A and B are shown apart, each in its own frame.
Chain A
C-alpha cells in the first residue's frame, strides 16, 4: 500500500512569491493535516481538512491557506513568502472512522527554502 506522497521534494522561492505544495493521502483516508517543521520552532499544526472542508487551523496568518479536492488530495498555498517560512512542510493523513482516525501517517515532506 502506498503511503502519503508529497510534491515537490524541494522548492526554492524568493520573498514575496507564492508557493504551492501538494499532498496525496493514503488510499481510503479522507482527512489531511499539514504541519510546519521550522528550525528552532519544532513541529506546528497548520491545517486540517476532512472531506473537502477545512476543520481546523493553527496559529498561522491567513496567507497560509489550502484546499482539499474531491479525491482527498490536498494543496497548501503560502502567499507573500517571508524568509521565516523556510521549513519542512509535512502532510499527514488518517482514516475518518474512529478509532483509526486517531493515527496520522506522515509523508516525506516538502523542503521550502525562501531566499
Chain B
C-alpha cells in the first residue's frame, strides 16, 4: 500500500520567513502526490499535486513543492510566509484504486 509520512507535528515560523513542511512517501510504482490545507472547522483545500513532469510544482497561494525521487520526499514550500498561512497541512498519496492516503498532518503557525 502507498503511504506518506509527515515527520513534524508542528512548524513555527516568523512572517516573511521561508516555510517548509516536510513529507516523505513510500509507493510501489509512480507516486501521485498531493498537498491539502485545512483551516479550523473547514474542509480540505487543494494546494498542488505531482503526477509527472517537472520536479518543482507550483500551486495555489504562492505554495510550491519539490518532488525528490532519490530522497522519496515531496516537501511543501513557500518563500515568504504570511500569518494567514497558519493552518493544518496534509500530504497525501493516491493509491492504485484512487483513494487518498493522508499523512498525520502538520500544524503551521506563522507569528507576526
Which A residues form the contact surface with B (CB < 8 A)? 4, 6, 31, 33, 35, 42-43, 45, 48, 55-56, 58, 90, 92, 94, 99, 101-109, 111
Contact = CB atoms under 8 A, between A and B. Distances in A.
B49 A90 contact: no
9 nearest A-B residue pairs (beta carbon): A106-B44, A43-B102, A45-B99, A106-B43, A108-B43, A56-B97, A109-B43, A107-B43, A42-B104
B44 A55 contact: no
A55 B43 CA distance: 23
Contacts of B32: 102
Contacts of A102: 32, 49, 51, 94, 98
A103 B43 contact: no
B49 to A, nearest CB: 6
A111 B90 CA distance: 19
The secondary structure that dominates the A interface is strand
Interface residues of B, number: 22
25 contacts: A6-B43, A33-B98, A35-B100, A42-B103, A42-B104, A42-B105, A43-B90, A43-B105, A55-B97, A56-B97, A58-B99, A90-B44, A102-B32, A102-B51, A103-B34, A103-B46, A103-B49, A104-B46, A104-B100, A105-B46, A106-B36, A106-B44, A107-B43, A108-B43, A111-B41
Interface string B80-112: 000000000010001001111111110000000
Contacts of B49: 102-103
A45 B105 contact: no
B51 A99 contact: yes
Interface in B14-30: none
Contacts of B102: 42-43
A19 B98 CA distance: 26
Interface in B24-62: 32, 34, 36, 41-46, 49, 51
